Amino acid sequence: MAVSLTGTRISVVALPWFVLATTGSATQTGLVAFCEMAPYVTVKAFTGPRVGRRPPRRAVV
């Protein structure tokens, strides 16, 4: 799990940085960062209330 979390954290920085270095476009860098983080935010928004009502293990399944 630690390796997975480390890889996720590194990719959050590395992918936008790569786009910035290759294209030089701040707009494309922002778009990549948004597309990378949008699924995390969406899932947290929908699962947060469920975890509050149910045990965490059942909400994950």
For residue range 3-61, what is the model confidence (pLDDT) as tens digits?
988 998 898 899 999 999 999 999 999 999 999 989 888 888 887 777 767 776 766 66
C-alpha distances (whole Å) from 15 to each of 6, 27, 53 are 14, 14, 36
- pLDDT in the model for residue 58: 66
Instruction: Return the axis-axis angle of helices 26-53 and 2-23, rounded to nearest 10°.
Output: 150
Query: Which pLDDT does position 53 carry in this prediction?
Result: 73
Predicted confidence at residue 56, as pLDDT, reads 67
Half-sphere exposure of 3 (CA within 13 A, CB side): 0
